[in-house]
Chains A and B, each alone.
Chain A
Amino acid sequence: MDLYQELILDHSRQPHHAGLRDPFDAEVHHVNPTCGDEVTLRVSIAGTGASAVVRDMSYDAQGCSISIASTSVLAEEVIGHTVDEALDTYAGMREMLTSRGKVAGDEDRIGDGIAFAGVAKYPSRVKCALLGWAAFTDALIRAGVQTPVLTDHTTQGVTP
């Protein structure tokens, strides 16, 4: 089956940038109530406005291979990037994942996120792939980063 790409399995076995680190500007806890997957995620932001950069994103995740790997790829794709770039990557991931397979995904835009193209064909797994990303955008908002509001109702945020 094309869902479990080697890249996804690798990331799920050895998630990159895992663990919670200091300092951070916001911490959020998101859960997927249908399966009990959880992620605690922190962001550290440098600068403000259009030049704001994701200095660090750290996390502690419990869940399926798709949600762990997706959060690991998220960290790879956003750390060291501007908030605007990170949000564009999120938009690209989200567009691909929620397209039911109609949008192939743009590797230049979402990097290793392209490995998750197969997830789009399994609607029940899209929530898994978006869990970390939803937590990340929520954390940006809580960190006071001025972003266009990206609401995502696929997972539930819990204020720590």
Chain B
Amino acid sequence: MSAAAMPFTDREVAAIRGDFPILGRAVRDGRRLVYLDSGATSHKPRVVLDAEREFYEQHNAAVHRGAHLLAEEATDAFEAARATVAHFIRAPEDEVVFTKNATESLNLVAYAFSNAAPTDEPKDPRFVLGPGDEVLVTQMEHHANLVPWQELVRRTGATLRWIPLAADGSLDLGGLDTLLTERTKVLAVTQVSNVLGTINPVGELAARAHAVGALVVVDACQSVPHLPVDVATLGADFIAFSGHKMYGPLGVGVLWGRAELLEVMPPFLTGGSMIELVTMERATWAPAPQKFEAGVPNAAQAVGLAAAVRWVEQVGIDRIHAHEADLAERLLTGLAARPWTRVLGPAAGTPRGGAVSLVVDGVHAHDVGQILDDAGVAVRVGHHCAWPLHRALGVTATTRASLAAYNTADEVDTFLTALDRVPEIFGIAEAS
């Protein structure tokens, strides 16, 4: 990342906002929409919508099938989208698998450990899991990077272990030597917490995992849209992310995996497209990435995702990161001035992602979110698909504001002002 990356100027943000038709609409009682829920899903710039529409209007055909002109164009568009996404994360093209979303990407990897034919084929020992083996996750994982591993150990008799959460919202690595051992076959960890904004030391964790022979699976949903990710230097063996959280369409996600691993992994879903040869008795597989893309692929969505990547590259991912960090700091400073709020996760001044979760003691997050919604401010409330994290921090639910390239300092201020109605309505000020 360039150290010189600057936040966007007001004029630049205005231009960025102009790319997103939905930001022009009004919400409750004609109020201006203040969208602070991009961690759940981002909005999509017009170029993404146009790319999808153009695919359907001009090139629509089933990819990797047929010899007619449209089929060729559709296949070219789909493979060009793969190349665009691969370049964005500095990966070779054949290491990028298109999926439905990050959840499917993570399941694809988890199933590689228990989905292989049980008999005749020699299995790569790295994908053999059984009693005595361990899968190591963390207490801050999104359910998508936790539940598939819980289910995998249930199927295989292996054991699930986890790195605990420290009170400051970082991972407590004090006991890592006893958690990460030669029994560990997989380390699954998020790069950036979707709740706390914590940036985990993936490089260090991956090096230690590799030293004991474990594979490293990284949930990159909250990193790829927000900061430069280079798989060549990250240290991971797999990363998973969703298109819809990075200005792309719903219904397309990505699994990146090192080529030599994708080559030896058994397929997840089977059927059309992913085969090499089929007889009545059995089938052999196409090389990766096709081996993992069964059925007619989501080409229009992949093309839309490529348009989103080009949009991000044009705006600059390092500038998006600087912009969101700037806004997060403004948000945290504003919250610090409101002592009836409590921010979970890294404090102001710590490098972090653009997700800020807070608690108003005595008021449930649903009620906080409702009052914000009444002011036109969209946030996420609840456990954000990270229930164990919330339990570990002793809270049932939090209110999360999450930032994107199109957010403004004004919007952060609107959020803070709207938040001030919470103690007014619920009488916290009277009580204190």
A65 touches B364 (CB 8 A): yes
B382 touches A36 (CB 8 A): yes
Q: Pick the contact of B366 from A1, A9, A38, A128 — CB < 8 Å?
A: A128
B370 touches A122 (CB 8 A): yes
Q: How many A-B residue pairs have CB under 8 A?
A: 49
| A36 touching B371 in the complex, CB below 8 Å, given contacts A4-B425, A63-B364, A65-B426 | no
Q: Pick the contact of A35 from B365, B425, B426 — CB < 8 Å?
A: B365
What's the nearest-Cβ distance from chain A to residue B372, in Å? Answer: 11
C-alpha gap A62/B390 in the complex (Å)? 14
C-alpha gap A37/B381 in the complex (Å)? 12
A9 touches B426 (CB 8 A): yes
- Across the interface, which residues of A come within 8 angstroms of B387, CB to CB? 36
Q: Pick the contact of B397 from A4, A9, A36, A66 — CB < 8 Å?
A: A36
* Mask: chain B, 391-432; 1 = CB below 8 Å from A; 0 = not: 000001100000000000000000000000000011100000
B382 touches A1 (CB 8 A): no
Closest to A35 in B: B382
| A62 touching B396 in the complex, CB below 8 Å, given contacts A125-B370, A128-B366 | yes
B54 at the interface (CB under 8 A from A): no
C-alpha gap A35/B384 in the complex (Å)? 8
A3 at the interface (CB under 8 A from B): yes
* Mask: chain A, 63-88; 1 = CB below 8 Å from B; 0 = not: 11110000000000000000000000
CB-defined A-B contacts under 8 Å, sample of 7? A1-B370, A1-B371, A3-B374, A35-B396, A37-B364, A62-B396, A64-B366
C-alpha gap A48/B109 in the complex (Å)? 56
What's the nearest-Cβ distance from chain B to residue A91, in Å? Answer: 25
- Across the interface, which residues of A come within 8 angstroms of B366, CB to CB? 35, 37, 63-66, 125, 128
- Across the interface, which residues of A come within 8 angstroms of B371, CB to CB? 1
B367 at the interface (CB under 8 A from A): yes
Residue from B363, B367, B383, B426 whose CB has the most chain A CB atoms within 10 Å:
B367
- Across the interface, which residues of A come within 8 angstroms of B370, CB to CB? 1, 3, 122, 125
- Across the interface, which residues of A come within 8 angstroms of B425, CB to CB? 4, 9
What's the nearest-Cβ distance from chain A to residue B366, in Å? Answer: 4
What's the nearest-Cβ distance from chain B to residue A11, in Å? Answer: 13
Closest to B381 in A: A35
C-alpha gap A36/B366 in the complex (Å)? 10
A151 at the interface (CB under 8 A from B): no
- Across the interface, which residues of A come within 8 angstroms of B363, CB to CB? 65
Closest to A3 in B: B370
A1 touches B426 (CB 8 A): no
What 3 pairs between A and B have smallest CB-CB spacing? Answer: A64-B364, A64-B366, A35-B382
C-alpha gap A13/B390 in the complex (Å)? 23
Closest to A68 in B: B364
A35 touches B374 (CB 8 A): no
- Across the interface, which residues of B come within 8 angstroms of A9, CB to CB? 425-427
Instruction: Given contact pairs A1-B374, A35-B396, A63-B366, enumerate 18 new A-B contacts (beta carbons under 8 Å).
Output: A1-B370, A1-B371, A3-B370, A9-B425, A9-B426, A35-B383, A36-B387, A36-B397, A37-B364, A37-B366, A38-B396, A64-B364, A64-B367, A65-B363, A65-B426, A66-B367, A125-B366, A125-B370
A34 at the interface (CB under 8 A from B): yes
What's the nearest-Cβ distance from chain B to residue A41, in Å? Answer: 17
Contacting residues of chain B (113-131) with chain A, CB-CB under 8 angstroms: none
* Mask: chain A, 13-33; 1 = CB below 8 Å from B; 0 = not: 100000000000000000000
| A65 touching B367 in the complex, CB below 8 Å, given contacts A35-B381, A35-B382, A36-B397 | yes
* Mask: chain A, 108-150; 1 = CB below 8 Å from B; 0 = not: 0000000000000010010010000000000000000000000
C-alpha gap A52/B374 in the complex (Å)? 43
B367 touches A36 (CB 8 A): no
Closest to B368 in A: A64
| A36 touching B396 in the complex, CB below 8 Å, given contacts A64-B367, A66-B366, A128-B366 | yes
B382 touches A34 (CB 8 A): yes
Contacting residues of chain B (357-383) with chain A, CB-CB under 8 angstroms: 363-367, 370-371, 374, 381-383
What's the nearest-Cβ distance from chain A to residue B306, in Å? Answer: 33
C-alpha gap A17/B282 in the complex (Å)? 65
Closest to A121 in B: B28
Residue from A9, A34, A64 whose CB has the most chain B CB atoms within 10 Å:
A64
Contacting residues of chain B (209-246) with chain A, CB-CB under 8 angstroms: none
- Across the interface, which residues of A come within 8 angstroms of B383, CB to CB? 35-36
Closest to B421 in A: A1
- Across the interface, which residues of B come within 8 angstroms of A36, CB to CB? 382-383, 387, 390, 396-397
What's the nearest-Cβ distance from chain B to residue A71, in Å? Answer: 13
C-alpha gap A34/B384 in the complex (Å)? 8
C-alpha gap A66/B374 in the complex (Å)? 16
- Across the interface, which residues of A come within 8 angstroms of B367, CB to CB? 4, 64-66
C-alpha gap A37/B382 in the complex (Å)? 9
C-alpha gap A50/B17 in the complex (Å)? 63
